[in-house]
Amino acid sequence: MIEVYIDGASAGNPGPSGAGIFIKGNGLNKKYSIPLGIISNHEAEFQAFLHALKICIEHKFTVVSFRTDSELVNRAVEKEFVKNELFAPMLQEALQLSKQFDLFFMKWIPSRENNVADELARKAIQKSRTGEK
């Protein structure tokens, strides 16, 4: 099984933002820092999830377990619903993408267990500030 740790972060709300994605399992150890531009922290969390789903699909992973410290994203996926209409299109896209896996799991974890993804998201904020890709 592939474990995917995701985190979104913003310097300001909204502010320069980034996604951190750490994928491990089956001998893999991949890290991604993706600048997201100026968005809110919650948007960054959803964008991190979307980017991670797409990366996993590109790599043809079929059994994945996502780990997030975002209660909002975890709850939204679990209930397949989000109150804030801003997040609804991102949730719907994520739910559609998640159907491409043979087995898909989402689990909330405490922030202290998501250090690698958090560090990658913070690096992505720096890239976002400097315009680096």
Confidence of residue 36 (pLDDT cuts 50, 70, 90): very high
pLDDT digits 0-9 by tens, 78-132: 999 999 999 999 999 999 999 999 999 999 999 999 999 999 999 999 987 777 7
CATH number reported for the structural domain that contains residue 76 in this entry? 3.30.420.10
Write down the pLDDT at residue 125: 96
pLDDT digits 0-9 by tens, 40-75: 999 999 999 999 999 999 999 999 999 999 999 999
Number of domains in the chain: 1
Comparing 133 with 66, the larger pLDDT belongs to 66
Nearest to 24 by CA among 130, 129, 113: 113
Write down the pLDDT at residue 128: 75
Q: Does the pTM of the predicted model rise above 0.85?
A: yes
- Which residues 6+ apart lie within 8 Å of 95 measured at CB? 77, 80
Confidence of residue 133 (pLDDT cuts 50, 70, 90): low
The residue range of the domain holding 37 is: 2-130
- The Cα–Cα gap between 63 and 58 comes to 13
Write down the pLDDT at residue 28: 87
- The Cα–Cα gap between 129 and 87 comes to 24
